[in-house]
Amino acid sequence: MFENQPTTGRARKGASIAALLATAVLALSACSGGGASQAAPSDDPNATLLVWTDSTRQAGFEAFQKANPNVKMKIETVDGSALLTKIQLFNRTGSGWPDVVFSQNPDDATSLSSSQYNYMASLDSLVSQDVQKGFGNANQGCTQGGKLMCLKNDLAQDVLWYNKPLMEKFGYKLPTTWDEYQALGKKVAAEHPGYIIGAAGDTNVYYDYFWSSGCPLQTVVSDTEVKINTKDPKCTRVADMLDPLLANGSVAKASPFDPSVAALGKDQKVLMMPGASWFGDFVFKPAASFGSPEGVIAAAPIPAWSGEPTNYSGAQGGGIYMVSSHSKNTAGAVKIALWMATSNDYQTTAPTYPAYGPAATAWAARLASDKFYAENPFPVLQAAAGKINPAESPTRYGMAPALSATVTAAIKSGKTIASSLEDLQTQLAGVAQTTGYAVTQ
Amino acid sequence: MSQTRRTTTRSSAIAWAFTAPYALLLLAVGVVPALYAIYGSFNSLKNPTSLSFDNYAAVVHDFRFLPAIGNVALFTVIWIPVMVFGTILLALLLHEKVGRFSSAMRLVFFLPGAVTGSAAVLLWYFMLDPQVSPFAPSLHALGLHTSNDVFTSSNLAPIFALVAFITGVGQWIVIMFGALQGIPQELLESARIDGAGPFRTALLIKLPLIRKYVVYMLILAFAAALQIFAEPSLFYSITKSGSSWWSLNQLGYTFAFAQGDFGQAATVSVVLMVVSAAAALFLVFKTDFFKNEEES
C-alpha cells in the first residue's frame, strides 16, 4: 500500500487536478444568475389553488376547504424561513409559485413585493373598502408603495403582563410610565431580589422597548430610504432606562424563552413582563413554558415614554396573508385569504389577536370565558391594538440578526445596552445598505 | 518504445474506464455548478447584463466579511490541531495493542460521529446549557449557571471546535487505524528487535509511514473548517449567541437567502474555493503527498 504507488508525472498532475476539483466541490455551496420571468395570468376559477401555511394556520385553511368543498385547493405546510428562497427559485424556473401564502414574518411583505421578488398581487381593487376599513391601521405594514399588498392576520401589540396576586402581596402599583417602571425595578431588586419585571436577552428588547419608544431603527422614509439613528434620544433613553435594571437583576439578561426564565416563571418569580398579545396564551400558560396557575396572570397597558402623546407599543410578530401575482385563479386566491383574515368562523377560533376589528370583537368572547386570566385581558389588548408605534415599519432587512449580534450579545454578556448602540448603528446601516436602502441618520 | 507506448495507452484507457463514473458525477454536480458559480460571481444584481467585479468589491467591503474571516480563522486554528493530534494519538493508542478492547474502543470513538451535524449540535446544546444539562453539577462547579455564561461570543469558537472534534474524530480514527494496519508486520518486528519501545516505534516508524494520510486529512479538515455552517447557525437559532453571519458560509447563506443576492453568495463560495484549493495545492506540491519512493 505504501511502497507501491505507481505515480507518473501525468498521473501526478491528474491527481493534483482531482484534488483541486474535490476541494472545489467541497467549497462551493451556492450558485447564481438568472432573473424573474413573468407570464400574464388569465383567471380560471377552476384552477387548483396552492396554499402555503404554517402548522398553526393549517386548521383554518382546512376549515375553509370544508366550508367550500367546490374550491380546488392544495394545502401545504412550509418552513417560513425558506419562503424567500423558494419564491426566488420559482422566479428562476418560471413556475411553481403558491397562490396564497401565510407568513409569520411581517417583513416578508416588504421583501416579496419588491421588484427583486415581484411576487405579490396588489389587493387594492380586490378587497372592498368596507373590509379595508375594518382593519383600522392594522394593514399599515401591508401597504407598500401606497398599495395594499397583503392582509394582516393577527396583531402582536405589546401589553404589560403581570402576576396580579403577587403585585398585591408586594403592595406595588402598576407602572404607567417607563420612569415608574424603572423605579419599580430598583425597588424589586432591593426588596425582592430574584424576582424579575422583564427579560431582555432576545430580540424582544427591540419590540418591547426600542420600538415602543420610537427609536429609529426601521423608520422607512421611502422604498429606497430608511432612517437609522441609534444616537437619537429615543434610543438612548431606552438604554438609560434598562441598563440599571439589567445591572441590578430586576430585568433578566436572558430571553423570555430561555430555560432560566421559564424556571423563574414556574417559581412565580416573574412579577411582570412586557410582551406581545400572544404571551398570555403562549408564554405564561403552557406547562412547557411558565405554566402559570389559573387566576394569576393579567394584562395592563404598556407604560408610556415621557413626552409621547400616548403609550405606544411595539409588535412582536403579526402574520400576513399574501396572494401571488402569478396566480391563475386570483379571485379564488383572494377569497381564501379574505376568509382567513376576516371571517368570524375562523378568527374566533384563532390562537392570536385578530387584526380585523370585527373579528377581534367576536374573538373577545373566548378570552372572557378563559379561567386562566385573573381578569379579562381583552379590553387592554383592544386598547393597545391601535397604538403600535407607527414610527417603525417592516423593511426588506430583518432587524433580528444585527440586533442579536450587538445589543442582545451585550445584554447577555453583562455589558450595557449603551455600549452596544454604536455597533448596532454600523451593522444595521450595513445590512440596510446591502438590501438597497440609502440610510439617513 | 512503441510497445511501451501501447501498454501505457491501454493502461490509461483502463484507468479512465474505472474513473469515468466518478468523473461524470464530479462533472455534473461539482465542476459544472462550480463554473456556474464562478460565472455568477461576476454577474451582479446592479449590473446584470455585463460581467464585472462588482460582487467582489461588495463582498470585500461588506462589514460582515472581515469578522467572519476572523471567526473562521480562530475556529480553524483551534480545531485542526486538536483534530489532527487527537486523531493520530487515539489511532496510535488503539493500534498499540490490537485486540477485542481496541476494536470495542474504535466503535466507541466512532459512535458520536453517527449522530449527524445538526442533531449533534442540538445534543451538545442540551449538554452545555446548565439549566437542562445532565452534567449540570459539573457546569455549576465551573461557575457556569445559565446558558448566557456558557454561550458567550468568546466561547463560541472553542465550543464549535469541541462539537466538530467529537463528531468528526471517529471516522478519521477508522481511516488512520486502517492506514496503521497497512504497515508490514516485519517492519514493526525489526523495530522491536532493534530495541525501539512503543513510543519510539509510534513516533519514528508508524507516524512517518502514515504521513500521507495525515496530509490527506489536513486538506479535507481545512476545507471543512472553512465551510463551518451547521454549528454556528444552529447555536445561533437556539441561543441567539454569535450571529447569522458568524462564519463565511453563513454570510453566503445570508446573501443568497435573506438578501436574495445569489451573485454575492457565489462570490463568497469562490473565495472559499480559491483558498482551500490553494492550501490543497500547497500540500500536494510542497509535501511528498503524491510522490512514490523512487522520486522522493
pLDDT digits (tens, 9 = 90+) for A349-380: 888 999 999 999 999 988 888 999 999 999 99
In the block, residue with C-alpha cell 422597548? A209
- Give the residue from A269, A302, A317, A262 showing the smallest Cα distance to A285: A262
- E strand or H helix that includes residue A438: strand A438-440
Residues contacting residue A387 through CB under 8 Å, at least 6 positions apart: A157, A310, A311, A312, A313
**What number is the average pLDDT over the span A300-314?**
94
Query: Which of B64, B223, B292 is nearest residue A27 as measured by Cβ atoms?
Result: B223
- Indicate the SS3 state at residue A333: helix
pLDDT of residue B261: 85
Instruction: Count how many pairs of residues, chain A against chain B, have C-beta atoms within 8 Å.
Output: 189
Phi, psi (deg, nearest 5) at residue A284: -80, -35
- From the CA of A394, how many Å to the nearest CA of chain B? 14
Do B36 and A31 form a contact (C-beta atoms < 8 A)?
Answer: yes
**pLDDT band per the 50, 70, 90 thresholds, residue A25:** very low
- From the CA of A18, how many Å to the nearest CA of chain B? 9
In the block, residue with C-alpha cell 445590512? A431
pLDDT of residue A9: 42
pLDDT lower than 50: segments of chain B: 1, 293-296
> Among all residues of chain A, which has the CA nearest to that of B132?
A259
**Distance separating alpha carbons of residues B212 and B288, to the nearest angstrom:** 8
- From the CA of B269, how many Å to the nearest CA of chain A? 5
Residues contacting residue A256 through CB under 8 Å, at least 6 positions apart: A199, A202, A204, A273, A275, A279, A283
Mean pLDDT, all residues of chain A? 89
pLDDT of residue A317: 86
Q: Which amino acid is at B223?
A: A
Radius of gyration of chain A (CA): 25
Judge whether residue A8 has pLDDT over 50. no
The answer to whether the CB atoms of B226 and A1 lie below 8 A apart is no
Q: Count of alpha carbons within 13 Å of A149, Cβ hemisphere only?
A: 22
The answer to whether the CB atoms of A258 and B131 lie below 8 A apart is yes
Judge whether residue A75 has pLDDT over 60. yes
Radius of gyration of chain B (CA): 23
Strand partners, A275: A159
Judge whether residue A62 has pLDDT over 50. yes
Q: What secondary structure does DSSP assign to B169-201, as a single string?
A: HHHHHHHHHHHHHTS-HHHHHHHHHTT--HHHI
Chain A residues in contact with B36 (beta carbon < 8 A) = 31-33
**Distance separating alpha carbons of residues B130 and A56, to the nearest angstrom:** 31
Do A378 and A368 form a contact (C-beta atoms < 8 A)?
Answer: yes
Q: Report DSSP state, residue A225.
A: E
Interface residue of B22, B152, B240 to substitute, partner A, most A CBs within 10 Å: B240
Q: Inter-axis angle of helices B262-286 and B211-226, to 10 degrees?
A: 160
Strand partners, A276: A158
Judge whether residue A34 has pLDDT over 50. no
**Distance separating alpha carbons of residues A121 and A179, to the nearest angstrom:** 45
Chain B residues in contact with A82 (beta carbon < 8 A) = 257
**pLDDT band per the 50, 70, 90 thresholds, residue A14:** very low
The answer to whether the CB atoms of B220 and A26 lie below 8 A apart is yes
Q: Tens digit of pLDDT for each residue in A175-214?
A: 999 999 999 999 999 999 999 999 999 999 999 999 999 9
Do A336 and A71 form a contact (C-beta atoms < 8 A)?
Answer: yes
* B284 in reach of chain A (CB within 8 A): yes
Query: Which of B33, B58, B290 is nearest residue A7 as measured by Cβ atoms?
Result: B290
Strand partners, A74: A50
Q: Tens digit of pLDDT for each residue in B181-216?
A: 888 888 888 888 888 888 888 888 888 888 888 988
Q: Which amino acid is at A345?
A: D
- Which whole-number Å values give the CA distances from B90 to A56, B48, B185, in the listed order? 49, 53, 20
Q: Tens digit of pLDDT for each residue in A117-171?
A: 899 999 999 999 999 999 998 998 899 888 999 999 999 999 999 999 999 999 9
Strand A49-53 versus strand A100-103 pairing type: parallel
pLDDT of residue B146: 85
> Among all residues of chain A, which has the CA nearest to that of B212?
A2
- Give the residue from A131, A130, A83, A72 showing the smallest Cα distance to A106: A83
Chain B residues in contact with A7 (beta carbon < 8 A) = 290-292, 295
- Which whole-number Å values give the CA distances from B155 to A369, A404, B13, B64, in the listed order? 48, 16, 53, 19
- E strand or H helix that includes residue A274: strand A272-276
- From the CA of B114, how many Å to the nearest CA of chain A? 20
Judge whether residue A414 has pLDDT over 70. yes
**pLDDT band per the 50, 70, 90 thresholds, residue A42:** low
The pTM score is 0.82
CA dihedral B70→B73→B77→B83, nearest 10 degrees, is 130
**CB atoms closer than 10 angstroms to residue A263:** 14
